[in-house]
Each structure stands twice: as structure tokens, then as C-alpha cells.
A = this chain, B = another copy of it.
């Protein structure tokens, strides 16, 4: 019996793919009980400390040292089962495909910018986007990588981008991300305009190509980063960071970053931020501590101190406890400060 066209199509659809790749399914589920006083919901919450992921990735060896890579990463809120913030893309974490070889790694799609991906190594909570950590505010000096996408979307990714990582030369590596100017359903941004004539209308294209660069240097117990980035409304950020391990179980880290919003603001255009932190590991115990400040021109400083503790049940599973105090303006223009306390207790599981 010969197979006709549709029969072949059905074989392709249902039969075994001849060259089935090994797709790796991976993920994180982190849920716990938290309370942040003075937050919009000043109540005990079941929520997350880390990003929650369900991802699919693969590597294909193309020969001659060349590899094809892809990664698709769902992000979700485990307390409600929704996609992050209930508005983010299915593959909020990343959706990228590319090639890796002697020339480095080139990928296309959506993902963390070069700066944002690199900088998490110098933040005491490893960039976890929670209240005890510094990543989403002080560690980036209040900067957002993606002001022209829908409200609630990620603050540290580029869509429509090309990502390049050089190989590592004597501990030195450069990472570059460049995005197109494509419109992405963002809100209007008044900026230097007026409510009726905003500097960026709703669903604007970027006024210049967003880009991000980071350079890292690693030498034994020492590592350092220098980075700069410009987003779609031409806000600029630069950052310098370093870490040092006096003993293998202790990591000390420090970072300084400055945001320049002079493209969209007439006054108070600069914001500085700095963070000090440490991680100390003792058997299954990990201790985390951090202190940081964000200092916007002419506005009250934000100050935060926090400690964390993790107890590993296995290399994939740990329990955690976080405590933090954050002093911040009531609003960004207020002269008074608001003190928020944060408690978190939960379980973190990688799969």
C-alpha cells in the first residue's frame, strides 16, 4: 500500500520523528507564606520568593564544534496557577534559538538583557525578584529594560532581540544584546511632553535601538563586571560590580549603578544605587545578608537591609526564611519615608 501525501503527513505527525532530539524539561516551583507590612495587600499571603519556571530546552550537536540551542521558559505564579502577573507572555522567561561555536553564542528572540543576566551574580539573593532581595529596584537603580511593553510585563528583558556572548578569553567575556525598534503595545509615556501630547504615545516604537553590554572578568576567587544599557525610551544605565571569595564558602559582593533619565525628564534625571552583600555556606546551611541604598536626585533615599537563611534538604530542594526592612518614600515625590517590614518562609524545589 503506497502512502499518499496526507498519509505521509499523518506519519510525520504521529510516527516517531527520525531524529528526535532530547528535549530537557526543567523548572522551579517555589511557594511560601509571606507578609510585607504597608504593602498594597498588608496581609499574610501565599506567594513566591523565586521566579517559578517550567522550561523546555535542547542542544543539538551540528559537528565541527557547532551547536544549535533553544530554550522556551514558562513563568507562573504557583499560588494561583496563573502566568506571572496574569498578563505576561507564555514564555516570559525566555524564547530563544541560536548557534554556539568557536565564535561564541548567538541567539535570537526574547530573554534577559546582557546586563540583567550578568548582574544577578553580584546580588546577594542571586537576583531573585522578591522583597528581601535587591534586584528589582536598588540593584538596578530603579531602571527598567522594557518601558514600552504592556503594564505588568517583565522589567529586565528585551523582546525582538539578538543576543551575543563572546567566548571566554583568559577569564574575560563580553555580552551584547541589541533589539529592534518594534512597537509592543506599551502605554503612553508623558516624559517631556504633555498628557495630550506625550513624548511616547501608546504602542510607540522605540526611539532608538535598545542595547545592552556587559563585560566580565573572573580570576580565581575574584570576579568583576562592567555594564551599560539603553532602553527603548533612551534611559541609560551603567553599572560596576565585583565579588570576592576570601574562603570558598564565603562570597562578598558589591555593586554600584547609575540611571540617567535625561531623555524623558527635565529635572532629577539621575538615580544612583549601591548594594553590599554576602553569602556564607556551612554544610546544608546558607546565610545571606545585604544592605543597599537607592538615591534619586532630589528625592528621599530608599534604604534596605535584609537577611536570609536557606536549609538544603537536597541539591534540588531547600527551605528558606527571609527578613527585611525597607525605608522608602511614600511616593516617589514625597519627602517622608515609609518603613516596610518583610517576612517570608517557604520551600524551593528545582526539577
Contacts and interface: CB of A to CB of B under 8 A. Distances in A.
Interface stretch (A87-95, A128-136, A257-265, A332-340): A87-95
Nearest to A243: B5
Interface in A213-239: 214, 216-219, 223, 225
B43 A9 contact: no
A213 to B, nearest CB: 12
A198 B16 CA distance: 48
A19 B315 contact: yes
A170 interface: yes
B2 A108 contact: no
A179 interface: yes
A68 B317 contact: yes
A256 interface: no
Contact of A41 (B23, B63, B205, B316): B205
A79 B160 contact: yes
B4 A173 contact: yes
Contact of A180 (B44, B54, B179, B315): B44
A110 B14 contact: no
Interface string A171-197: 111010001111110000000000000
Contacts of A17: 24, 26, 350
Interface in A22-60: 23-27, 29-33, 41, 43-47, 54, 56-60
A82 interface: yes
A242 to B, nearest CB: 11
B2 A349 contact: no
Interface stretch (A69-77, A272-280, A293-301): A69-77
A105 interface: yes
Contact of A81 (B29, B90, B183): B90
Interface residues of A, number: 114
B62 A78 contact: no
A159 to B, nearest CB: 4
A21 B316 contact: yes
B225 A184 contact: no
A31 B347 contact: no
A229 B313 CA distance: 33
A226 B26 CA distance: 39
A66 interface: yes
A318 to B, nearest CB: 10
Contacts of A54: 56, 72
A306 interface: no
A162 interface: yes
Contact of A182 (B1, B16, B43, B60): B43
Interface of A: 1-7, 9-10, 13-21, 23-27, 29-33, 41, 43-47, 54, 56-60, 62-63, 66, 68-72, 74, 76-83, 86, 89-100, 105, 108-110, 117-118, 121, 159-162, 165, 167-173, 175, 179-184, 205, 214, 216-219, 223, 225, 313-317, 346-347, 349-351
Closest 9 CB pairs of A and B: A81-B91, A81-B89, A46-B160, A31-B108, A82-B89, A29-B97, A81-B95, A4-B173, A4-B218
